Amino acid sequence: MNSNTQISEKTRKTILKLQQNEITEHAIYMNLSKRVKKKSDKEILQRIGREEKMHSKLWSKYTNKDLKPEKFKVFIYSLLSILLGYTFVIKIMEKGEAISLNKYELLMDEVPEANKVYLDEQKHEKALIEMLDEDRLQYVGSMVLGLNDALVELTGTLAGLSFALQNNRLVALSGLITGISATLSMASSEYLSARSEGNSDAKKSAFYTGVMYIFAVILLVLPYIVFPSHKYIHALITMLITVVIIILAFTYYISVAKDLPFKKRFIEMSTISLSVAALSFIVGVLVKHFLGIDI
């Protein structure tokens, strides 16, 4: 007697979805393992991938189907791993599995093996994932330093210049000069700081700090290049929206990759950057008024 005749149709459909997820995640893990250079991480990813395949075979006893991985999903996760790192992608997958774990409790009455799979998903894979040691996440402190400093300093500078100069091209020019100079200064300072602390990877710390800083510079100055010269208010508003989006995206990335709280960090960073922008804008108004400068 086939196993699928012993279960309800509702249970069978649930198992079919789980089977599809398992075989797709098997393909994702194995694909990620091919891109990872660190041997220990490669072995962990391959081990998790094999477990996912075992789970898929277990579910196939009940569905009597041999499913193939979802190619588009495998492609998307592989692309994200290149852009954001494999730890971020795996943590996202883990969160998705945490939601699906609720389904296992509904299966246990009809499918005894569901309990074993549940325990694997809850404990074993999570423990393995926590062993991952991706290189870029060791430099999160440098990334946060570069991004925070760029957002606070450049947001204030551009906001102040927006009213003081009232010309997008002049603001963009000033912002780029300030931003590039500050990038070199921040990267140098991070290098010297890391060296003084005996960090053997001081160059990498400086690199990540500089990359995040210049990334923020380009995105924040861009509105002043795109909009016509006289529409400085439009450029300013767009720049502030860009700041919030950058903070939202980066905070989400860090919260997922490092298992840190999202809401508190997002509110704190946004409040500081926007408050500095508001104060700098007021300073720009006062400087223009009292010095009588008209460009």
What are the pLDDT digits (tens) for 224-248?
A: 999 998 898 999 899 989 988 888 8
Spatial CA neighbour of 77 closest among 69, 86, 65: 86
Looking at per-residue confidence, does 53 or 259 come out higher?
Answer: 53
- Domain boundary residue, one of 133, 165, 180: 133
Residues 77 and 194 grouped into a single domain: no
- Percent residues over pLDDT 70 in the chain: 81
Residues 271 and 147 grouped into a single domain: yes
Has residue 47 got a pLDDT over 90?
Answer: no
Has residue 59 got a pLDDT over 60?
Answer: yes
pLDDT at 44: 83
Residues 142 and 64 grouped into a single domain: no
Residues 42 and 148 grouped into a single domain: no
Number of C-beta neighbours around residue 3 at 10 A: 17
Mean pLDDT of 267-283: 78
Q: Confidence class of residue 17 from pLDDT cuts 50, 70 and 90?
A: confident
Mean pLDDT of 262-272: 82
Residues 39 and 61 grouped into a single domain: yes
Which domain range does residue 208 map to? 136-291
Has residue 2 got a pLDDT over 60?
Answer: no
Residues 274 and 187 grouped into a single domain: yes
Q: What is the pLDDT of residues 205-221, one digit of tens each?
A: 788 888 888 888 999 99
Has residue 22 got a pLDDT over 60?
Answer: yes
Residues 117 and 147 grouped into a single domain: no
Whole-model pTM?
A: 0.66
Q: Sign of dihedral through CA atoms 136, 137, 142, 145?
A: positive
Residues 15 and 53 grouped into a single domain: yes
Q: What is the pLDDT of residues 106-153, one digit of tens each?
A: 677 677 777 777 777 666 566 666 666 666 666 666 677 677 777 877
Q: What is the pLDDT of residues 151-184, one digit of tens each?
A: 877 888 888 888 778 899 999 999 999 888 888 8
pLDDT at 225: 93
Q: Confidence class of residue 99 from pLDDT cuts 50, 70 and 90?
A: low
Residues 73 and 197 grouped into a single domain: no
pLDDT at 223: 94
Looking at per-residue confidence, does 295 or 61 come out higher?
Answer: 61
Number of domains in the chain: 2
Buried b (16+ CB within 10 A) or exposed e, 197-223: eeeeebebbbbbbbbbbbbbbebbbbb
pLDDT at 75: 92
